[in-house]
Every structure is written in C-alpha cells, then in structure tokens.
Amino acid sequence: MLPLLWLVPAIPFAGALTLAVLGPRMREKAAAVIGTGSIAVSAVISLFIAAAFLTAPPAAGAYTQTLWTWIDVGSFRPAIAFYLDALSLVMMTVVTFVSFLIHVYSAEFMRGDEGYSRFFAYMNLFVASMVTLLLADNLLLLYLGWEGVGLCSYLLIGFWYQDPANGLAGRKAFIVTRIGDTAMAVGLFLLFHNLGTLRIQDLMHAAQSQWPVGSAYAIAAAALLLGGAVGKSAQLPLQTWLPDAMAGPTPTSALIHAATMVTAGVYLIARTHVLFALAPPVQFAVAVVGAATLLMAGFSAATQNDIKRVLAYSTISQIGYMFLALGVGAWSAAIFHFMTHAFFKALLFLAAGIVIEALHHEHNIFRMGGLRNELPVAFWTFLIGGCALAGLPLITAGYYSKDLILWSAANSTAGGMGLWAAGMAGVVLTSLYTFRLIFLVFFGRLETAVSHRPGLAMTVPACVLAFLSIVGGFGKLPFEALLATALPQFREAGGGMSEALASAAAGLAFLAGLLAAWYAYLQNPSLARSAAANPAGRLLHRFWFSDWGMDWLYDRVFIRPVVWAASANKADVIDSIYDGLAGAAALCYRLLSATETGKLRWYAAWIAGGSVVTLAIVMWL
C-alpha cells in the first residue's frame, strides 16, 4: 500500500485541476461528485496506508518515496519526495478524513451558489497543498505546500468576492501570514546556507551534529521557523487575520480552522523539533506564545457575538494549547490535541453552519436562542463538540488531550507552574465561552424562526465527527506509542504534579467555567448585561471584543505610517528616475532626428567624423 502514497496529494490536485478547467460547464452534481470523490479516494487510500503502516511498520519507522528531482542546481537538489513517518501519517489521515467529511457537508451547504464548482476546486487544491505540506521530504516542498494553503485560504476567505469586505479579509489573511512566511523563507535560506541541505531528516542530523545546544545559528533558525509557524497558526502577534477569515463560507472555516491550515505551524515545529530542542530559549518562547495566545484569545472569545468569531477565537486559543505543549517538549501531546481538535472544531463549525443556514445566514448569537428543539441534530452535535472543546472530564476527547498538555506543562523541565496556571485559566475561559455560546444559541426563547432544515449530507458528517470527538480521546495510549517512533519522549521533571491531581484540577476548572456561564447567561441573564453596561466593564468588553486592540495597534503602528508614506510620496520619487530616463531617451531621439536632414553629404560627413573619432580612440586610448 505504501507506494500509493503519492496518490494522496495527487488525486485532490487532479480534482482541483479538473474542476478548474471543466467546472464552469459542469452541473452541480458532477462538480460535487468530482470534488468530494477525489477527497474520498484520497482519504480511503490514506486509511489503507495507515493500516499498512501500523501492521507492518517500515524499517526505521519511516517510508520515503522519491518521485523525481525537482531542481538540480549545483549541490542544491531538492526532490519531489514524500516522507511518511508516524507524525505525518497521523496528520495526513486526520486531514484527509476530516476534509472528506467537510466536503460531503459542503456539497449540500453550498448548493445553489453560483461558484459551486469553483468552491470545490479551491477546496481540493487546499487539501492537496496541505497533504503536500505534511508529506514533504524537504523543506522546500513543505514551503510549496505552505504557500499553497496560504493561497487557497486567500481564495476561500474571499470566496464571495462581490462583497469588498470579504476581499479585504482575504487580503488581510494573505498579508499577515506572508509576514510569517517571509521569516520562514529566511530561516530556510539560513539552514541551507549553513547545513547545505533542505531534506528534513538530513537537516536534523546535521544540526544535531554541528550545532551545540544553544548555539546562535540554532536559535536564529528556530526563531525564524517559529515566525512562520506563528503566522500560519494565528498565534501572537500575528493572530489578527483569523477572526476576519470568518468571511469565507462556513465549510471553509471548518477546513481552515479545524483540520488543516492553522495546524501547519504546529506540524512545522513538531517536524523540526530537533532545532527547537537545540534552541531552548526559542522553545520556551513557543510555550510563552502559546500560553499568552490561549489566554488572550479566550478573553476575546468570551466577548464576541458572532458565532463564527467565537469559534475562531477558540481555535486560536486551542492552537495556543498546542504551542504550549510543543514549547514544554510534549510533542506527542500537541499532535494528540491537534487530532482531537480537528474532530471537535470541525464538528463545531459544521453544526454552526447548520444553525447559520437554518436562520437565514444570521451570525449574531444574541438573535438566536431556543434552537434546542428546533434543530436537535445541530444541538446535540454542537453540545458534544462544545463539551470536547471545553474538556468535559472522562467522556470527551478534548479532555484527554488538554489534560495531557496541562500535566506536561506542569511537569516539564522547560515548563513550570506559571504556564500550567495560564493553561488552567484558559480551561475556565474555554468552558465559559463555549457554554455561553451553547446557552445563548440553543436555550432560552426562540428569537429567529428556523427557515431551513439540514439534509443528510450535512447531518451525517456532523454525527460522524461527534462520534470521533468522543472516542478520539480513548486512543491516547496507543497514539502515544505510535508517535514515539517519530517524536522524542516527553522528559518529565521529578517532583511535579501527579496525573490524578492535574486531571482533577482540569475537571474543576471546566466545572467552574460551566457554572459561571450557566449563572450569567441562563440563570441570571441580566448579570452579564449589567457587567457589560458599567463603564469599566464596557471598556474591558470593547477591549476584548476588538481582540485586545491588536488591530487598532497594527493600524496605528504599521498601516497608517505606510499609508501616510504612500500618500506623501504620491508623485513617486523613485519613479521620477525612470521618468527622467524616459525623458533623456526622448531628448536623444529629438537630437538624433534633427540630424536626419535627408542631405547625403551630411550623412557622409557624420560617417567620416565618426571614423575620425573612432580612429582617435583606437590610437590614444
């Protein structure tokens, strides 16, 4: 089965190509079959590959498939080659499978949209890029996939391009992630310049043998890669694009924010974990970034009133958990949380999409309510997803993965109680904003009438994901055993917190958030309103609502000066040089054309004069 690996990215790519070329002439059904079918085939193949990998693991725990040499310039010879080990296997399987469910869902969700085939073309390309990114054998191919998902996210966020706001959101996502990508590109240059290769495995060996722990090169390379990861995974300080990215269709949000793109940064760090292990300050920075992001995004999520923006902030926050795990060296915990998060976040978006479509594209949660009985499937799946997100103890997948991260943060040699406390506060916040969302949307009075009921294509994927959101956590031990072949073991510091204590604390934090949400939004709804009404509360609310003023800050610090400089330089100083060149050329033209008199003797005289000058130059120079 393993030699079929190349088909996993190739089939979605072929699907994207087919849809891009023939899509406009296709009927919706044909486009849906091609778009969904290609991902289905891809998912089935990756499941078979996973089965083959698990039953008969390849030698050294990894399988490499080299297709051809991509570029051949001197010693720089990156290949189109795929590398499959436990890490990329998990990522690939989860990505293709969740993408498949989302595609099935979109086939119904997008029905009647004029860009139906275009949507599937983008989505297929997105999956193809993401799988390329995951399977890449060298960092250049990884970068190709990296930019591919960046491009597709831009296309999908701005999918409904008739509204300029959507285009603006797409551009914002593109530009902000580009900042991180630039850092990453510089990091690749640095790595290639110093270690002479971009093949990830060779690179890791070379780094380990050539760079001592804490060497400047390792720190610089790891920091630059972290820059790329921060941009793509929407962590501090480049997280501002993700909430705006909700402008895209809801399945897009599910695909970008759950299964694929935003976890690319997590994958990159896990993939290059050797570099981060060689640069302890950067690794600690990863943990701090994760902890700070999960807290900030948690506060912001608790104040939003757009259902999708709440989920967007929760995504940022959950990826913050993954970064925290990476930062404290709990590599497999991060990937485990990636997997469970992929299930429950995709589920939440799909359920939210059902709600949104049922209510005439209403996004405001204060105009929803009482949908518990109207949309039972959406309610139950959303409840399961929400519980998983908040970490309902013992039952849901999210609890196991998050618990593992929190325990690791407390017990890591690199971590500490500060990081653990931030994580715990995050659990309370997560629980609070999740149940706030659930209570406001599904409980209380019916605010808006339901106009549309979801079909099977929308409910079945949600149910499958709900199932996975529960059982996904039970596979913790075999999962860790599998990942141990690809990622280093977590190094536990002695004398830390016991596992039972950490679990109990996480459970209590969950309950605290749940109770707070219950009290403030169901039992005593005036409380939240009055808290938001007094001046301090209003200020705080506005501050958090606007994502801690980050957009405002960037607007003042970066955008305004650039816009000012651009408007001040309207005449374009640089361009005047080229205008001058053009003017000089025109002047020369006028001078030369003045010599064109039509008088033969003058022409001959010019020739003679020219030979005199040429001879003089030959003789005396």
Residues near another protein (CB under 8 A) are 593, 596-601, 604-605, 608-609, 611-612, 615-616, 619
Q: Which residue, 451 or 611, is less far from another protein as judged by CB?
A: 611
Helix axes 307-327, 331-358, angle to 10 degrees: 180
Token duo for residue 418: 């500060």
User: Residue 306 gets which letter from DSSP?
Assistant: B
CB of 590 to another protein, least distance (A): 12
Ramachandran assignment for 547, one of left (phi > 0), alpha (psi -120 to 50 degrees), beta (any other): left
User: Residue 235 gets which letter from DSSP?
Assistant: -
CA–CA distance, 611 with 615 (Å, rounded to integer): 6
Q: Which residue, 60 or 605, is less far from another protein as judged by CB?
A: 605
CB of 619 to another protein, least distance (A): 6
Residue 61's CB is within 10 A of a number of other CB atoms, namely 15
CB of 592 to another protein, least distance (A): 10
CA–CA distance, 106 with 123 (Å, rounded to integer): 10
Q: Which residue, 489 or 614, is less far from another protein as judged by CB?
A: 614
8 A C-beta contact, residue 9 and residue 128: yes
User: Residue 68 gets which letter from DSSP?
Assistant: E
β partners of residue 364? 306
CA 245 vs. chain centroid, Å, equals 11
User: Residue 138 gets which letter from DSSP?
Assistant: B
Q: Which residue, 474 or 602, is less far from another protein as judged by CB?
A: 602
CB of 584 to another protein, least distance (A): 20
Rounded to the nearest 5 percent, the helix, strand and coil shares of the chain are 75, 5, 20
CB of 597 to another protein, least distance (A): 6
Q: Which residue, 56 or 600, is less far from another protein as judged by CB?
A: 600
Q: Which residue, 305 or 611, is less far from another protein as judged by CB?
A: 611
Q: Which residue, 455 or 610, is less far from another protein as judged by CB?
A: 610
Q: Residue 242 contacts by C-beta under 8 Å, 6 or more apart in sequence?
A: 173, 234, 257, 262, 312, 315, 316
CB of 582 to another protein, least distance (A): 21
| Half-sphere exposure for 174 (CA within 13 Å, toward CB) | 15
Name the phi and psi angles at 226, rounded to 5: -60, -40
Q: Which residue, 51 or 616, is less far from another protein as judged by CB?
A: 616
Three-class SS state of 595 = coil
CB of 588 to another protein, least distance (A): 15
8 A C-beta contact, residue 274 and residue 114: no
CB of 66 to another protein, least distance (A): 53
Q: Which residue, 570 or 590, is less far from another protein as judged by CB?
A: 590
